[in-house]
Structure 1
Amino acid sequence: MSGNIDTVDAAVDEAAPPILASREEALAAVERLREGIAARAEQTERDRMVPEETIRELTDAGLFGIVTPRLWGGSELGFATLLEVQTAIASACASTGWVYGVLAGHTWLVALFSEEAQAEVFADARARIASLIRFGGQPPERVEGGFRWRGGSGRFCSGIDHSQWVLLGGTVTEDDGTSEQWYMLVPASELEIIDDWHSVGLKGTGSKSIVIKDAFIPEHRAVRFADLGSGRAPGSELHPGGLYRLAYDSVWPLSLVGAVVGAARGALAEFIAATSRRLASLSSLQQASNGPALVRLANAAAQLDAMSSLLLNDARVADSAPEGTVFSPLDRAQRSRNLAFAAQQLRAAVNELYESAGGSGVYLSAPLQRWWRDVNTAASHVAFTWDLASVAYGRAVTGVNAVAGTGTGPAVRA
């Protein structure tokens, strides 16, 4: 570790959020907040952003620090705990769960940047970071001491209203004509927010468009995607253990998928409550005729349990990876497959429940329709696209690469 940082206390003041000692402590903190988050779900959707009160509560509870390094006052509890915490939050409000996962997960990404960049961001123990991994418009240009970005733009910047920093991905063309993808840290104050988030679901995520008119990004606030993807990012050496040496594309969607799991859990809970009330008012004979609804309920519950286990296993494998672990292309493809498969299976399960709700489910006053809209919107994220993930896995497991003739033979697993 570099000697430029004296102590953790240098980055953490008296107002810093608490450090959570364990998964159990983190989940207990969520449980104390769930009722309030659920009570504000309609407000979240109406305002098209998570209320400041909710963000403050999550911050004060230390929950944004689940994968923040201990060096900077974080809990460093890993992606499995982040997944469980996000699921619990999203089961109260899917939009809040989505924004939570996005902002909390990005502290892990910042920990892969240079020490100087980390010190800038984490100097504010309550700083939050949004992101657009594919920022369009004009690309950044290399200039003396860093990069100049004029006229960049992009959509779907979830949680931007609550963020002090934004991670932006762009392609830089060098003087020799070669191009390379970079990830850059930009203060949110240097961006313009376009209030265009009018969506069918996840209405409260505030996933607005942003524009960068003219910003200078110093060299220390930029990192090559190639380094992030190889587990050799500049900041990884600052933190002991293997968590910050993992390739970013092996783990980053794990900070999103908990929103799908949580929303499916919320939908199932609402369906159970509504079905229980309806059956209680019927005669025994009428109850018996409702068997198909109970079958759908059982199917959805089984899918939820199975998909949760699948995702948690992947997260735990990543968390427990020894220092120096390099996941193979097949490992990465399998994890992407599991993420997409789980999201689409949960989407299908909730769709089954919604179909069973009949005409009563079409009213905007019906809670189930919000869960249905949120799950379908969340599962539409590119990271959960089954057409892409399934083909990538098929190529990896059979050794068929994208370019004909470059296959290395099938990857056989015992």
Structure 2
Amino acid sequence: MLTTEVPTREQLVRRASDIAPVLRGHAAWAEEHRRIHDESIEALADAGVFKLRVPARYGGYEADTRTLADVAAELGRADGSTSWVASVYWIPTWMTCLFPDEVQDEVFSTPDVRVCGTLSPTGTAVPTDGGVVLNGRWGFISGALHSHWQEIVAIHIPQDGEPYPVMTLVPMSDLQVVDDWHTSGLRGTGSVTTVAENVFVPSSRVLPLPAILEGQGASVSNAGRPAYRAPLLPVASASSVGTVLGLARAAQDAFFQRLPQRKITYTGYASQAEAPLTHLQTADAAMKIDEAFFHAHRLTGLVDGKGADGTPWSLEERVRARADMGAVCRLGKEAVDILALASGGSSVYTDQPIQRIARDVQAINLHALMHPDTNAELYGRILCGLGPDTLYV
């Protein structure tokens, strides 16, 4: 068992802020090459970002989700793609902590291990002696190019009984990578497709997804730990919102950095800063960012609070977690859109970060799990007395 001094939230946020120049300096390279720069990965490792959701017995920090949101906000202020990949790693890493302890021993034996993954069951797991045989394709695998393992969801097809989804852990060396990440936003995330062809997965690395969605893992050591006893979807929601907060702050940074030198062409305003329109735009964007932080911190407060006291989750709390995540995405995008529109024609040049910020926040809002309308509708169903129409609550 390893022992390590666990940094405070403030220290971890400061570390993220300290590496911002490295991430920002490689943001354009990452977008051009459609993957995170190796030096950015090294900077994340040095800052302890990959240890945030690792159990303390392996030298990890077992950080709460408020810390995740605040750290990702600092990373996203420097580069949205890098922040998104870090956030994605936190979720499958947390899911790894629900597997049997011997599986965790294997995964976490690698320093600064990185686990990518998805919740989409776009493959099959057919039972065989000692495990399952995995076949399928999984898209949008952010950070796959720098990962050691992939968490994979597939449909278990037993000889008798109904099929059901399972969660598996597979070494990246067992998978094929398809370089198909040609996109308009989050280009630097390297969210490629991975393929399994007749990959054997031992039964110790196969868990039923319905149990995982309820927070029922197979780990003895983590069973009573606050960080690991929440349902999956609230945890995933709270782990994801920080990047949007960071992108919104980055849009503010980019706008105000250029403001002193800007006029409003074809108007009488020689200084954009003197125009009442600018005052309304910047105030509106700032208030939306404040509201986004409120929803993010209400979400993380709920997840962390219930993890600490161990109280059961109500259905309304679970879907409100998704609604808060959707609200962060909506408000963050609205703030970025206001500032991007106020930035004028010169902001479309690729050396201006706000155009990349706008495309990145748009891509996040299109994500199936984070889409504001999808999450709001689900919350509204429950408020109206209907049951959820999805397993993912």
Q: Following TM superposition, by how much is the alpha carbon of 1:318 offset from its aligned partner in structure 2, in angstroms?
A: 1.3
Partner Cα separation in structure 2 for residue 125 and residue 240 of structure 1 = 25
Match of 1:45 among 11, 28, 31: 31
Contact 1:27 1:85 in 2 (8 A): yes
Letter in 2 for 1:383: L
In the other structure, the counterpart of 2:367 is 381
The 3 A distance-change label for structure 1 pair 287 and 369 is closer
The C-alpha deviation readout for 1:364-384, integer Å capped at 9, x for no partner, is 232211111111111211122
Q: Following TM superposition, by how much is the alpha carbon of 1:41 offset from its aligned partner in structure 2, in angstroms?
A: 1.0
In the other structure, the counterpart of 1:347 is 333
The C-alpha deviation readout for 1:17-39, integer Å capped at 9, x for no partner, is x7542101101211221111111
In the other structure, the counterpart of 1:406 is none
Partner Cα separation in structure 1 for residue 150 and residue 273 of structure 2 = 55
Partner-residue secondary structure (3-state), 1:379: helix
Q: Following TM superposition, by how much is the alpha carbon of 1:61 offset from its aligned partner in structure 2, in angstroms?
A: 2.2
The 3 A distance-change label for structure 1 pair 8 and 366 is closer
Does structure 1 residue 226 correspond to structure 2 residue 210?
yes
Contact 2:23 2:78 in 1 (8 A): yes
Partner Cα separation in structure 1 for residue 243 and residue 5 of structure 2 = 23
Q: Following TM superposition, by how much is the alpha carbon of 1:93 offset from its aligned partner in structure 2, in angstroms?
A: 0.5
Match of 1:244 among 223, 228, 248: 228
Q: Following TM superposition, by how much is the alpha carbon of 1:356 offset from its aligned partner in structure 2, in angstroms?
A: 1.8
Q: What is the percentage of aligned positions where both structures have the same residue?
A: 28
Deviates more, 1:58-67 or 1:94-103: 58-67
Match of 2:62 among 46, 54, 76: 76
Contact 1:344 1:384 in 2 (8 A): no
Q: Following TM superposition, by how much is the alpha carbon of 1:396 offset from its aligned partner in structure 2, in angstroms?
A: 1.1
The 3 A distance-change label for structure 1 pair 349 and 108 is same
Partner-residue secondary structure (3-state), 1:213: strand
Does structure 1 residue 91 correspond to structure 2 residue 77?
yes
Contact 1:148 1:217 in 2 (8 A): yes
Letter in 2 for 1:294: H
Letter in 2 for 1:33: I
Partner Cα separation in structure 1 for residue 9 and residue 300 of structure 2 = 13
Letter in 2 for 1:344: R
Does structure 1 residue 366 correspond to structure 2 residue 352?
yes
Contact 1:149 1:216 in 2 (8 A): yes
The 3 A distance-change label for structure 1 pair 213 and 367 is same
Moved over 4 A (4+): 279-289
Deviates more, 1:236-245 or 1:32-41: 236-245
Match of 1:303 among 266, 288, 308: 288
The C-alpha deviation readout for 1:256-309, integer Å capped at 9, x for no partner, is 221111111111110111123226999987557621122111111111122112
Partner-residue secondary structure (3-state), 1:140: strand
The 3 A distance-change label for structure 1 pair 144 and 285 is closer
Q: Note the 1:183-262 alignment, pairs <5 A.
A: 183-235=167-219, 237-238=221-222, 240-262=224-246
In the other structure, the counterpart of 2:2 is 8
Contact 2:68 2:239 in 1 (8 A): yes
Letter in 2 for 1:362: V
Match of 2:311 among 325, 328, 331: 325
Does structure 1 residue 158 correspond to structure 2 residue 142?
yes
Partner-residue secondary structure (3-state), 1:238: coil
Q: Following TM superposition, by how much is the alpha carbon of 1:363 offset from its aligned partner in structure 2, in angstroms?
A: 2.3
Number of positions where the alignment pairs a residue of Structure 1 with one of Structure 2: 387
Contact 2:133 2:198 in 1 (8 A): yes
Q: Following TM superposition, by how much is the alpha carbon of 1:346 offset from its aligned partner in structure 2, in angstroms?
A: 1.2
Does structure 1 residue 58 correspond to structure 2 residue 44?
yes
Does structure 1 residue 170 correspond to structure 2 residue 164?
no
Match of 1:142 among 124, 127, 143: 127
Partner Cα separation in structure 2 for residue 325 and residue 122 of structure 1 = 29
Partner Cα separation in structure 2 for residue 63 and residue 367 of structure 1 = 24
Contact 1:236 1:245 in 2 (8 A): no
The 3 A distance-change label for structure 1 pair 216 and 349 is same
Partner Cα separation in structure 2 for residue 221 and residue 285 of structure 1 = 64
Partner Cα separation in structure 1 for residue 224 and residue 318 of structure 2 = 23
Gaps of 5+ in 2: none
Does structure 1 residue 293 correspond to structure 2 residue 278?
yes
Does structure 1 residue 22 correspond to structure 2 residue 8?
yes
Structure 1 length-normalised TM: 0.88
Partner-residue secondary structure (3-state), 2:298: helix
Partner Cα separation in structure 2 for residue 402 and residue 374 of structure 1 = 30
In the other structure, the counterpart of 2:115 is 129
Structure 2 length-normalised TM: 0.93
In the other structure, the counterpart of 1:263 is 247
Partner Cα separation in structure 1 for residue 351 and residue 216 of structure 2 = 50
Contact 2:259 2:273 in 1 (8 A): no
Deviates more, 1:284-293 or 1:391-400: 284-293
The C-alpha deviation readout for 1:295-335, integer Å capped at 9, x for no partner, is 11111111112211221121122112235322111001111
Deviates more, 1:312-321 or 1:26-35: 312-321
Partner Cα separation in structure 2 for residue 319 and residue 79 of structure 1 = 6
Partner Cα separation in structure 2 for residue 218 and residue 286 of structure 1 = 66
In the other structure, the counterpart of 1:100 is 86
Partner Cα separation in structure 1 for residue 296 and residue 347 of structure 2 = 29
The C-alpha deviation readout for 1:93-137, integer Å capped at 9, x for no partner, is 00110011111332211111111111110011221100022142x
Contact 2:261 2:271 in 1 (8 A): no
Partner Cα separation in structure 1 for residue 111 and residue 249 of structure 2 = 32
Does structure 1 residue 395 correspond to structure 2 residue 389?
no
